[in-house]
Structure 1
Amino acid sequence: MSDQETVRCVLMRGGTSKGLYFHESDLPASGPRRDRLLKRLMGTPDVLQIDGLGGSRPITSKVAIIAPSTRDDADVDYTFAQVSIGDDEIGYNGNCGNISSGVGPFAIDEGIVPAVDGITVVRIHNTNTGKKLVAHVPVEDGKSKVDGDFALPGVPGTGAEIVMDWSGTVGAKTGKLLPTGNPVDDIELSDGTRVAVTICDAGNPAVWANAEDFGLTGSELSAEINENTALIDRVRELRGRAAVLAGLCADWRAVDRQSPGIPLAGLVAAPADYETLNGADIAARDMDLRIRLLFMNRLHESIAGTASICLAAASRVPDSVPGKISANRADGLLLAGHPSGITPVRVEGSPDHFGLLGFSRTARRLMDATAYYPRSTF
């Protein structure tokens, strides 16, 4: 077309997120030109992303950039980008656990990694954090398998189970599981209240606090949180002050600009019966705790994959905020109740050495696409 250019991409669902997956060789080099292209493809900035491929929610405005790895201990290099929606911004300062679950299938189906029928192991170097994660991808007839009996809360139906091991991502951004060295820190907010938090870094950095300290029960859904501007402002301040303590930004007031997305902010509560976004009844006996995660200043409809990793790790730290709520199960699982259901996270070992820190996800290629963008973008 005379006034448009094209770029190849794959639209994939990875876990409970959806995004555009690219070969790095199909994009401009890292920098402003690449950023401008990705934002234009998504339709950012616009709260509806109506003139692009984004879905107007943080979980549908994501990008994965993949290439053969430059490291001997990895098969692919993977860069994650979170494209803002209403703001003209794009962030690379963390990883996404859900989008990560699509990297292995993409690499296999695109011929970057040789397919091995049964299970193909894909070693993934995440360039955002410099850490390595490992995907165990079901394969059949040389392609990643889609059909299976694994059910993922927040995704309709079932699919082939992809097991992701994140034990190599402890200290992803700060170099330490506990960036401050403390299982609990007291943070004083501008309104004079003091909040006990656990700042933990595995998968992605996150700050965990008790839901009751923010006037919540832990069973709230989207409308009750997203429309509560006072609550959102308090959690933003909590996130900002935790980011300063973790060395992720210099001024808590500028956290959305200096450290967008991380640390994640989670409000935890003891098990209780509640109703999901889809109207399903969840029983207290089926979970170890409840979690309401705020991501990009909105309630996450389920739980981010990296947040589940961080939560599981933090739950094994003695005297931590999540640790005081959840008990160490003999089966090596943490069962986290979130707005879409219950997610099991595998956690084996201790904070000194996690032998396994991971979760299972499903992924599906939705479209192999030629994306168009106006030539005037540049």
Structure 2
Amino acid sequence: MQIPIKATYMRGGTSKGVFFKLSDLPIPCQVAGSARDNFLLRVVGSPDPYGKQIDGLGGGSSSTSKVAIISPCTDGTHDVNYLFGQVAIDKAMIDWSGNCGNLTAAVGSFAIFNGLINKDKIPQNGICTVKIWQQNIGKTIIAHVPMVDGQVQETGDFELDGVTFPASEIKIEFIDPVDDTGEMFPTGNLKDKLSVPDVGDFSVTMINAGIPTIFLHAHELGFTGTESQKDINDNGEILAKLEKIRSFGAVKMGLIADIAEAKARQHTPKIAWVASPTDYIASSGKTIKTSKIDLLVRAMSMGQLHHAMMGTASVAIATAATIVGTVVNEAAGGQALTEVCFGHPSGTLLVGGQSKLVDGKWLVHKVTMSRSARRLMTGEVWVPQLAQQT
């Protein structure tokens, strides 16, 4: 038998995912554990050795193999809790170690649609400010959701590279986005030397902001910073090299004790490479001019080059770019900055950061960016009964 569960399929930024209210999940799946994971894996269609997730709602890419669980927050400060799961495509694994910044853009709208926001906070016209507690990383995110005639405004003229159609702009603020360790730079250095056996030595910036990320100079990898998905994702040798670098970087960041543990922690840390601006052709076919960007960035997500840029990695980019002495800031010209426009495979993105050095420790107050979100479908997802009983 199959069971129907209420769900909403939403686009948030350049990602898509299946959203649930916590109270709508089967009771065994309302807490962390194998029952919840098995249920969500079946919803998305993983593990799929064919890599397509045909028998589920996933789309066969890291950007479309995601789930979100939303619930009311009772701490008196936040409106809702947001728990994110990055679902592996070919493995029976959900990585709960980090946030999805893109899907964050859809959380406020979902909360309003589902009656999770106090009506007194929702204006008839204007901006509804939704204060989100991001459970994976224990951080506050503020979404500014536009309202028209008492309804969330989903359509509009805001264009986001990596998304085909325009929509309504949702401004997102990531407050104090450094992870729970409280150390923005886990080694205490803006730059480190990362030695990877049989691969090489690299100058890296390892940062915990938005999501743990390892930044490298593109030229040290033999790259230009203008790589497309095809350039990277069709080359097994390059993918293996990048994963090995990521694994050794994860150990150096203190996220894992041994490189073997990286296989079970694919969502974090991210690995990205940066380069100075140059003209290139985006995946849409349009030309991105050097004069329009401050630097180039390419980032890996779940073992594949991302088609645009992860929202959480954008937080890391914004933070690192505003600190003189990091690899990212060097690629952006080495000057003091408060915002950067970077080029990614699908186009460009403008992000802002507020970082400062206090008593020898780097702090970032917030990072801002604009995204959009839209409901794609609401209703019930049908799941074989055994998937939530395991």
Report the TM-score, using the length of structure 2 for normalisation: 0.93
What aligned pairs does 1:1-378 form with structure 2 within 5 A after superposition?
3-27=1-25, 28-30=29-31, 31-46=33-48, 47-113=51-117, 114=119, 115-116=122-123, 117-170=125-178, 172-191=179-198, 193-257=200-264, 259-327=265-333, 332-350=338-356, 352-377=362-387, 378=389
Following superposition, the deviation at residue 283 of structure 1 comes to 0.5
Alpha carbons of structure 1 residues 272 and 359: separation in structure 2 relative to 1, 3 Å: same
Q: Is the 8 A contact 2:177 2:366 kept in 1?
A: no
Provide runs of 4+ in structure 1 moved above 3 Å: 327-332, 351-356
Instruction: Tell me the secondary structure at the aligned position of residue 212 of structure 1.
Output: helix
Q: Is the 8 A contact 1:119 1:139 kept in 2?
A: yes
Following superposition, the deviation at residue 337 of structure 1 comes to 0.2
Instruction: Tell me the secondary structure at the aligned position of residue 318 of structure 1.
Output: coil
Following superposition, the deviation at residue 175 of structure 1 comes to 2.1
What is the identity percentage for the equivalent residue pairs of Structure 1 and Structure 2? 38
- The residue type equivalent to 1:211 in the other structure is A
Q: Tell me, in whole angstroms, the C-alpha distance in 2 between the residues paired with 1:303 and 1:242.
A: 20
Q: Tell me, in whole angstroms, the C-alpha distance in 2 between the residues paired with 1:12 and 1:328.
A: 38
Show CA shifts across 1:73-124 (max 9, x none).
2110110001110111111000000011100000111111132230011110
Unaligned stretches of 5+ residues in structure 2: none
- The residue type equivalent to 1:376 in the other structure is L
Following superposition, the deviation at residue 328 of structure 1 comes to 7.3
Greater shift, 14-23 or 142-151, is seen at 142-151
Instruction: Tell me the secondary structure at the aligned position of residue 169 of structure 1.
Output: coil
- The residue type equivalent to 1:144 in the other structure is V
Q: Is the 8 A contact 1:174 1:247 kept in 2?
A: no
Following superposition, the deviation at residue 150 of structure 1 comes to 1.5
Instruction: Tell me the secondary structure at the aligned position of residue 176 of structure 2.
Output: helix
Unaligned stretches of 5+ residues in structure 1: none
Aligned CA-pair RMSD = 1.5
Following superposition, the deviation at residue 233 of structure 1 comes to 1.4
Alpha carbons of structure 1 residues 359 and 188: separation in structure 2 relative to 1, 3 Å: same
- The residue type equivalent to 2:368 in the other structure is G
Greater shift, 261-270 or 331-340, is seen at 331-340
Q: How many residues align?
A: 374
Alpha carbons of structure 1 residues 354 and 187: separation in structure 2 relative to 1, 3 Å: closer
Alpha carbons of structure 1 residues 361 and 297: separation in structure 2 relative to 1, 3 Å: same
Q: Tell me, in whole angstroms, the C-alpha distance in 2 between the residues paired with 1:244 and 1:97.
A: 24
Greater shift, 106-115 or 77-86, is seen at 106-115
- The residue type equivalent to 2:201 in the other structure is R
